[in-house]
Structures are given as structure tokens and as C-alpha cells.
Amino acid sequence: MTTSPNIFDNTVILDTIFDYIHPMQHLRLRLVNRKFNDTCLRTIREEHKRTEIVTFLDRLFFNDFGPLTVLRVNDRIVQFGKMKSYFEFLSTVAGVKVRHLEMKEGRKWSREEREQLHEHIVLTLIGDNWSHLTTLIGINVFCKSRCLDCVRMIGNCREYGPLHLSVLDLLDKPRHFEKLIVHSDLLCELAERADRAASKEESFENMRKQINRNISCDHFVLLLDDYDEIRNGHRLKFPLEILLEMMGKWRVKEVAFMRRYAYEIKEEGPWSRWMTSKTFFTKISFDTAIDLKEFKRYPLESLTFDMVYDDYDQAPELSVKLKNLINMSKWLFPTKKSTWILPNLLIPAVKVGTYMQNYLETQTKENGCEQTVQIIVAQAYSSWPEDSKFPDIFASGARLVGFEAPGGAWQLEGVTSVEQLGEDTDEGLIGRRFTFWKRLTNNLIHFDIFVPKFKVTCLFGRFQPVTSNLPWVEKYRPSKLDELVAHDQIVKTLTRFIENRTVPHLLFYGPPGTGKTTTILAAARKMYCPEKFSSMVLELNASDERGIDAVRNIIVSFAQTRGLQAAFAKPSSSGDAPFKLIVLDEADAMTKDAQNALRRVIEKYTDNVRFCIICNYLSSITPAIQSRCTRFRFPPLDMKLVVPRLKFIVEKEQLKMNPDGQTALLEVAKGDMRTLINTLQSTAMSFDDITETTVYQCIGQPTPREMKEVVKALLNEPAKKCMETIKTKLFENGYALQDVVTRLHDIAFTLDIPDEALSTIILGLAEVEENLSRGCTNSTQLAAVVACFFDAKSLCVKKINTERMEF
């Protein structure tokens, strides 16, 4: 008997195959069988949900007129003459629905070629699926002015840009963007229009009318020209008043200033006329000094400056430019979080300490503030130089020496490692956090300096940090107490404990996946500020460290040291708790000797430490420890509370889930949030849609429809036929008999049968489950399952006959 058809019907094997090959380069594999075809097309659909298109001239291939015009679609080379058929295959055969479309012009095409590419993308690749687009970047370069198709596609976009003046004029309905990209040329064009007025007041009034009030955005990205780029003998600048007016009308929360890359090829236009003519607006370039006291300040949640560029000839002068940047940004855009992205080739010339020194020197007039400054040493367009060595202070964590800021010296409070910073960084970062405190002004500044791992991306033409692939359980784990979906009474009690600083020893118990660990970690974040969290909280998994040595060595050594903030007053906005916290997860795996030793530790170090013991079964914890803790039981989560969180994750991950799929997930989880999210992620990774069939197929359990057929066979068919039916439906699909027995147990209580028959079924299933746990064969135990149902049927028949005789 050949096994190859069954092998290539296995979804896991097919997914593994396509992990090692690119489906667009091996389309002939679609001919193997239908499963191979479905998996290949599904892989193509998933890959092209995020589509990046770059245009250029390929000098490796020539025709009679020179190098061929080609484009790169997700790193695959496509010739200009074949792009229509390529897009038709993606849209009609593979069924691609693009969600993230990003375009960039690496080498300039002719106007006709750009318009043809735009037409093929809009009509063929996107077509009627434009409502699926959530990100649209760079397409304006390739379309005609005032293009209604592009305006229509903006409808559902959360990220868009660069915004052109023609599109700005056509937006007649309210549009909210999570990220909006604007080029400095747009500001110059608006200024050139407004400057046609006769007076400054009229010019400013014209400017306010031009800025569309229908737009709002959270994250505003302004693309600037290279710092050292000079056009027509004039350094390129932009009108500051228009930038501030735009940010105010659009209710901007975060701003990033980034250098311009190849979104468009620069041509003469209104920007050049404005640069060379008189204007009523202030011409500004962020790296030049200017008096800003007359301008209104605009507070932001965060501010980013990307200083990566190509020209390194004037690298030693960057420290002067940096001071101007810092002074201007801090005056115009006060914020508690700022990010500076610096090219790696400047590290040997300027040193990391220079950036910190320049920033500290601007803090003399600000009192009682706490800020975080992130400095990313980014790889630019060339490779890392062989002699590029990071300063000793960065590599070793030594103290900063050799400078003092005016108005009182800054004290280095501590240097700690930074392994992960934010959601867009990889876990393998090399980093340090330097914390400075000025006692005179009570200022606290954290410098997070790190070198991330990079990969080439199309966005802005620079290297971006690799996004970490966290499991969704960790990605969507609540970090605050008010984000928890259940256990309101427990949360209220813990909040009261924390606010009154009367936190007792805690004992959390209940089934897995009900939020025990998440609750205590969220409470710990409320008790301690982020920079002190790691030094004040010890989390141990007692299933690994469960012996008496763990109590004597790890726990005691942590508990007997008192936090420095208990002895010295430190500036903090969080009101830190005056004690440490030790979290013992899965404590029911601890030995009795370890629990007895832990009892004495709890008593001895109560002044310094609070314990939170987490377990599944309360009976596994000794009464002595139970009596010393305040107990909280975490029951299985109510499905009504789980559904909103499930829908939130589905929306964030942009998944498709029907009501049957939602019901199946809730049935599988049975109140376990961890199981629910893991099953959702597994199903989303394997299938396009979340349905009842895909959920049960992913976890390897029979669907409710299949279980109904099994129960129907057990109740109605003869024994031999019943055995054959169940083997055909279940075992050939790879289902485990133990899962079938568990499902039969739940279904049995829904049957309308006498109590004697129900008891027979339950006892028979319990015996089968025990035998399976001891390693008995499936076929023998399946016969036992059939036998217990036949015994139940005979009892039903006897009772019916008895009732008839009595009647």
C-alpha cells in the first residue's frame, strides 16, 4: 500500500516544506495534488498580505534600448512587460488581498511606465479588494495628480503617505490615521500658495484654510531632505508655522522626523520657488540655531529624530548640529520620551558619551522631571567598519566621568543591561541603561543605549529592527490591573492593599489559564516603577526550583537584602512599595521539606519581603503556609468576559473569524485563557479563516458534527458495524481515543436516558480512561466503549418493557 498520498495530505508536513522553499519560485508543486496546491496558494496569500514594490533598471539584462525596466515585488524580480500577468495571478488564482502596500522608486521610470504600473496595481492587484487595505505608502509617486482611485483606497487605511497636496484637497470626509507620512515639500507648497497674499495676516489666514480639518492622526512622520544636501545654492528648509498649525489641527500625539529616501524623485516646483523667494513664514532647518521663544510649544507623547544619512564627510561637526537639534526639539516639542537614531559610522568619531553630555546640558532650567532618552546606534547603508569599536563606557558599564553640567553635577545612579526595549525590538539586543540624577533640581533621566539586529526593509530606505515574534499569550498579556478581563473583586482588594501599602503574603490558587501569574505581575508593576522592577521582584517557577536548596540559596539571599530606596529618598512618580516581592509560581510542585523551610523564611523576612504563592491545587500547599497567607481563588473565566478579549485579539491581528469558530474556541478553552489564545494563534497560522472546522482540525480533535455521528452509531448500529464506523471516522483521521472519551462524557449528560443507563455509561467511560492512561491499546478500549453503550441500551429496553407491562 502506498503512503505518499496520505503524507502529502498532512498539513503540518506541507507547511514544513514551504518553510524551506519559496512558493512563487516552485509553482509546479501545485500539480502534486490538491492539498499541495491549496497550501502553496495559501502561503502566497499570507506572504502578499504585506506587499513591497520597488522600481529600478536592471543592468544585468539588456535589450536594444539599454537596461530593462523591472520591479521587485517582495524581493522577486518581475519584468515590466510581465507585471500585469503577474498581478493577475496573485489576485485571481492565489486570491491575494493586500493589506499593506508599500511602493518605492529606486530608479526613475518614465511617466508612461509609472502610470501603467499604477493602473495595474489599482485595477488588477487591488481591484475590488481595496477595502482590505490598512497601509498605503508611496503610491502617489506613480499616479496622476488628483487621482480619485488613490483617494478611494485611502478610505480604510490606518497608515498612509507621503501626503500630497492634491490628495489633501480631495479629502472631504473625516479621516483618522494611526500613522501619516508628510514630506517637507508639502509644507513648502502650502507656504508658496499662502504667500500670494498681500500681508502676513492674510497669508496666515490662507494657510489655515488650506490645512484640511478632516484629517487627524496619532503618529506624524515628517520626511526631511539630507542634512548636508544643498539644492540651487540654498540649504533646504521648511516653514515652521505651517508644521505647528498642521500638528495642532490634526491632533498629533507622536512625531518622527526622518530623512527623505526614494519615495519620489525631486523635481523643480513650488518648493523651489518658495525657497528662493521672500516669505511671511519662518524658514527653519532643525540643525541650525534659531530663536524660538516667540513660537508656541506643542507637548508630545514621544519624539523621534532619525539622523541616519549617506554623507559622512562632516561627521565631526555632528556634535554642534546635535546641540541645535536637542535645544530646538526640547523647546518646541516638550516630551518625556525621545529617541535618537544615529549612524554606526559616527561612533568612533563622536562617542556615545557626547550625546548624553549634550542632552544633560539642556536640562538646567527644568526641575522635578523624569525622562527617558533612547539612543539607537543604527547601521547605515554601508557595512560595519572593521575598526568600529564601541566606547568602553558602553561595553563595560563604567561610570561617566570627565564632564559636569552647569548648575550642579549629574550623578550616575546606576547602569543596568537592556535586553528588550519596546515592542519593535528583537530580544537579542546589546544595550545599557544609564540613570542620572541631579539632586539640586531633582531631575531623573534614563539613557537607553543599544545596538539592535537589523534587516533591510523598504520603509524609508533604512535598516529597521527585527520585530520579535512573541507568542500571543505574552504579546497580549495584560500589564496593568485595570486591563484584566475578570476577577473584579480580587483586583479591587489588591488595589486597596497597594494604595494603603498593607500588602500581605498572598496565595493564589485555581485552574491553569485563569490569570493568577498575570494578576500578581500587574500588581507588581503598580507597586514598583519600571527601572526598579527587576531589582525588587523575584519570580521563580517552583516546578524547576522546588527543592530546599532553592529556598536556602535563591530566596533567602534575595529576601535578606533590603532595597536602597527604603533607606534613601529617591525621585519617583509611582510611590514604590517599601518591600520586595517574591513570586513562587507552580508552588504545588515544591517538596514538603522546601515548604517547611519556606514557612520559616516567610516569618523571618516579613519586614523586607512579601510572598505570592501560586498553585493549581490548594491541597498541595501545607496548612502552615496557608495560614500565613491571604488566599484568593481564581475560578475558570466566564465566557461572557472572555469574548471581548478574544474579539480584541482577532481585530488586532486582522483575522477572519465566524461565530462557529468563536464558539469552538470557547468550547476548547473551557475558561482557560492561555489555551484559548494558543489555539487561536495556532489556527491563524495554519488557516486563513477561524471556523469550527479549522479550530478542531488544528488541535486534532473531532468536530461536534463528527461526535454526533459517533453517538448516533453507538446508540443505533450493531456492534460490529459500530466499531467499523468509529474506526473509519476517527482513527483514520488521527484522533486520539482519549479525546473521544472526554467528549463522550460531556455528551452523555445531554442524553434523555434513565439514570441507571447514564451511570453505566459514565462508569464504563471512566474505566476506559483509566486503562488508556496506563497504556492499553486503543482498539481494545474502543470495544469497551461500545460495550458500555450496549449495556446502557439494554437497560433502557428493560425499563421500557417493564413500564409497558405495568401499564
| DSSP string across 399-447 | PP-S---TTS--EEEEEEE-S--SSSS-TT-EEEEEEEEETTTTEEEEE
Least confident of 237-251, 287-301, 482-496: 287-301
Model pLDDT, residue 528: 86
Compute CA distances 178 → 165, 306, 458, whole Å. Answer: 20, 19, 19
Compute CA distances 667 → 370, 490, 657, whole Å. Answer: 47, 25, 15
Length of the chain: 807
- One-letter amino acid identity for 411? Q
Model pLDDT, residue 504: 92
Alpha-helical segments (H) within 691-777:
692-699, 704-716, 719-729, 737-748, 755-773
Task: Decide if 716 is inside a domain.
Answer: yes
- pLDDT higher for 418 or 314? 418
The rounded distance, in Å, linking the Cα atoms of 293 and 285 is 16
Q: Is the pLDDT of residue 388 over 70?
A: no
Model pLDDT, residue 597: 84
Model pLDDT, residue 485: 84
Model pLDDT, residue 565: 45
Task: Decide if 396 is inside a domain.
Answer: no
Compute CA distances 668 → 165, 280, 663, 696, whole Å. Answer: 52, 67, 9, 8
Per residue, the 3-state secondary structure of 524-591, as one string, reads HHHHCCHHHHHHHEEEEECCCCCCHHHHHHHHHHHHCCCCHHHCCCCCCCCCCCCCEEEEEECHHHCC
Least confident of 18-22, 210-214, 252-256, 731-735: 18-22
Range of the domain at 735: 704-806
Task: Decide if 778 is inside a domain.
Answer: yes
Model pLDDT, residue 270: 60
Model pLDDT, residue 229: 45
Model pLDDT, residue 394: 39
Let me know: does 543 contact 498? Beta carbons within 8 Å: no
- pLDDT higher for 167 or 49? 49
Model pLDDT, residue 492: 92
Per residue, the 3-state secondary structure of 11-64, as one string, reads HHHHHHHHHHCCHHHCHHHHHCCHHHHHHHHHHHHHHCCEEEEEEEEEEEEEEC
Model pLDDT, residue 454: 42
- Out of 62, 96, 130, a domain closes at 96
Let me know: does 528 contact 536? Beta carbons within 8 Å: yes
Q: What is the mean pLDDT of residues 639-668?
A: 89
The total of structural domains in the chain comes to: 5
Q: What is the mean pLDDT of residues 2-6?
A: 50
Give the rounded percent of residues in the chain with a pLDDT score beyond 90.
Answer: 12
> Residue 57's beta-bridge partner residues?
69
Q: What is the mean pLDDT of residues 506-516?
A: 92
Neighbours of 752 (CB within 10 A): 5
Let me know: does 11 contact 34? Beta carbons within 8 Å: no
Give the rounded percent of residues in the chain with a pLDDT score beyond 70.
Answer: 71
Whether 510 and 658 map to the same domain: the answer is: no
Average pLDDT, the chain: 76
The pair phi, psi for residue 439, each rounded to 5°, is -65, -35
The rounded distance, in Å, linking the Cα atoms of 83 and 738 is 53
Whether 126 and 240 map to the same domain: the answer is: yes
Task: Decide if 43 is inside a domain.
Answer: yes
Among 354, 362, 369, 364, smallest CA distance to 449 is for 354
Whether 449 and 358 map to the same domain: the answer is: yes
- One-letter amino acid identity for 574? S
Buried b (16+ CB within 10 A) or exposed e, 398-412: eebeeeebeeeebee
Side by side, the strands of the sheet bearing 609-615 are: 537-541, 580-585, 609-615, 506-509, 630-633
Name 663's Cβ contacts closer than 8 Å, sequence gap at least 6.
Answer: 692
Whether 715 and 679 map to the same domain: the answer is: no
Model pLDDT, residue 57: 58
Compute CA distances 315 → 301, 303, 304, 310, whole Å. Answer: 30, 23, 20, 11
510 — pLDDT class (breaks 50, 70, 90): very high
Model pLDDT, residue 211: 86
Among 684, 640, 688, smallest CA distance to 666 is for 640
Give helix 184-194 / helix 240-249 axis angle, nearest 10°. 100
- Out of 672, 699, 726, a domain closes at 699
- Out of 699, 714, 740, a domain closes at 699
Whether 158 and 286 map to the same domain: the answer is: yes
Q: What is the mean pLDDT of residues 229-249?
A: 72
- pLDDT higher for 472 or 140? 472
Model pLDDT, residue 652: 85
The pair phi, psi for residue 631, each rounded to 5°, is -95, 140
Alpha-helical segments (H) within 211-275:
240-249, 270-275
Q: Is the pLDDT of residue 509 over 90?
A: yes
Whether 560 and 582 map to the same domain: the answer is: yes
Task: Decide if 414 is inside a domain.
Answer: yes
Model pLDDT, residue 163: 86
Task: Decide if 393 is inside a domain.
Answer: no
Q: What is the mean pLDDT of residues 107-127?
A: 81
DSSP, res 292: -
Whether 478 and 569 map to the same domain: the answer is: yes
569 — pLDDT class (breaks 50, 70, 90): very low
Model pLDDT, residue 680: 92
Least confident of 103-107, 359-363, 424-428: 424-428
Model pLDDT, residue 431: 67
Least confident of 379-393, 500-514, 709-723, 782-796: 379-393
Among 204, 214, 117, smallest CA distance to 163 is for 214
219 — pLDDT class (breaks 50, 70, 90): very high
Model pLDDT, residue 400: 39
Model pLDDT, residue 379: 57
Among 414, 404, 420, smallest CA distance to 444 is for 414
Burial label, 807 (beta-carbon count in 10 A; 0-12, 13-18, 19+): exposed
Whether 435 and 482 map to the same domain: the answer is: no
The rounded distance, in Å, linking the Cα atoms of 465 and 455 is 7
The rounded distance, in Å, linking the Cα atoms of 703 and 711 is 13
Task: Decide if 401 is inside a domain.
Answer: no
Model pLDDT, residue 506: 94
Among 683, 677, 689, smallest CA distance to 645 is for 677
Model pLDDT, residue 508: 94
The rounded distance, in Å, linking the Cα atoms of 676 and 364 is 52
396: cell is 563595560
Q: Is the pLDDT of residue 691 over 60?
A: yes
Least confident of 231-240, 486-495, 648-657: 231-240
pTM over 0.85: no
Q: What is the mean pLDDT of residues 712-720?
A: 87
Q: Is the pLDDT of residue 571 over 70?
A: no
471: cell is 507568542
3-state secondary structure of 771: helix
Neighbours of 701 (CB within 10 A): 21
Compute CA distances 741 → 395, 519, 748, 773, whole Å. Answer: 59, 34, 10, 12
Task: Decide if 330 is inside a domain.
Answer: yes
- One-letter amino acid identity for 148? L
348 — pLDDT class (breaks 50, 70, 90): very low
3-state secondary structure of 347: helix
Question: Where is mean pLDDT largest: 137-151, 508-522, 596-610, 713-727?
Answer: 508-522
Q: What is the mean pLDDT of residues 543-571?
A: 62
Among 769, 767, 760, 753, smallest CA distance to 789 is for 760
Rg value, the chain, Cα: 33
What proportions of the chain, in percent to the nearest 5, are helix, strand and coil? 45, 20, 35
Let me know: does 357 contact 403? Beta carbons within 8 Å: yes
Let me know: does 255 contact 304? Beta carbons within 8 Å: yes
Q: Is the pLDDT of residue 595 over 80?
A: yes
The rounded distance, in Å, linking the Cα atoms of 512 and 585 is 11
Q: What is the mean pLDDT of residues 458-478?
A: 56
Write out pLDDT tens, residues 415-444. 666 654 444 444 444 567 777 777 666 677
3-state secondary structure of 465: strand
Compute CA distances 748 → 182, 633, 711, 727, whole Å. Answer: 64, 30, 9, 20
Write out pLDDT tens, residues 131-148. 888 898 888 777 766 677
Give helix 737-748 / helix 755-773 axis angle, nearest 10°. 160
Q: Is the pLDDT of residue 775 over 70?
A: yes
Whether 665 and 750 map to the same domain: the answer is: no
The rounded distance, in Å, linking the Cα atoms of 597 and 603 is 10
The rounded distance, in Å, linking the Cα atoms of 716 and 720 is 12
Model pLDDT, residue 626: 92
Least confident of 59-68, 200-209, 521-530, 654-663: 59-68
3-state secondary structure of 277: coil
163: cell is 501626503
> Residue 612's beta-bridge partner residues?
506, 583
The rounded distance, in Å, linking the Cα atoms of 351 and 356 is 10
Whether 647 and 664 map to the same domain: the answer is: yes
559: cell is 529576601
Name 381's Cβ contacts closer than 8 Å, sequence gap at least 6.
Answer: 310, 462
Q: What is the mean pLDDT of residues 546-572?
A: 61
CA 173 to chain centre: 30
The rounded distance, in Å, linking the Cα atoms of 339 and 345 is 18
Model pLDDT, residue 490: 92
226: cell is 539630507
612 — pLDDT class (breaks 50, 70, 90): very high
Q: What is the mean pLDDT of residues 141-161?
A: 78
Q: What is the mean pLDDT of residues 233-246?
A: 77
CA 543 to chain centre: 29
Model pLDDT, residue 548: 67
Among 59, 109, 60, smallest CA distance to 83 is for 109
Whether 63 and 115 map to the same domain: the answer is: no
Whether 600 and 532 map to the same domain: the answer is: yes
CATH of the domain at 724: 1.20.272.10
